Amino acid sequence: MDARLNPTATVIGPKAVKHLVSADHALVGSTLPRSTRDLVKIRASQINGCGACLDMHVKEALAAGEDPLRLGLVAAWRETSVFTEAERAALELTEQGSRLADVGHVSDEAWAAAAEHYDEEQLTALVCVVAVINAFNRLNVMFGVRGGSYEVGRLS
């Protein structure tokens, strides 16, 4: 199935997406570990059902040296022993931040757990990663962009 629409073939699409890409690139310079950023992007994309983002971020994480076992267990992170306490806190914050319509807020407990492991710069980056990947997920899902054909390095 083809995408419903190719936003890059419109006037406004590339202009809007350029700013989201710039926001994501700004986060690369943060002290939030790349592995955490990758896990967050993958978990949010799982929650939102974004095959295009999952395709990209799983492949990019593997290329960066992430353990395939950890990537395979992201969806069940609570029931595993392969994630650090800091990563677990980031994944919980990601889930709550990605499900605002369902839960209505991010709990103080989730925020406090993340704050135990990340400083203010890293927390800011973490929240921004969650926000940016959710925006990309929504664009891809609404446009009908499918996963499976991403080539590592193409858009990163």
Q: Confidence class of residue 103 from pLDDT cuts 50, 70 and 90? A: confident
Tell me: the pLDDT tens digits for 8-55?
889 998 999 999 999 999 999 999 999 999 999 999 999 999 999 999
Global confidence as pTM: 0.94
**What domain count does the chain have?**
1
Q: Is the pLDDT of residue 1 over 70?
A: no
Within-domain flag for 156 = no
Within-domain flag for 154 = no
What is the average pLDDT value for the chain, to the nearest integer? Answer: 95
Distance CA 22, CA 41 (A): 16
Distance CA 109, CA 123 (A): 14
**Is the separation of the CB atoms in 132 and 16 below 8 Å?**
no
Distance CA 127, CA 36 (A): 12
Which domain does 59 fall in, by range?
7-143
Within-domain flag for 153 = no
Q: Where are the alpha helices (DSSP H) in the chain?
A: 12-28, 34-48, 51-63, 68-73, 85-98, 100-103, 108-117, 120-143
Question: Residue 27 is encoded by which pair of tokens?
Answer: 């986060």
Can you give the CATH number for the domain in which 111 is found? 1.20.1290.10
Within-domain flag for 150 = no
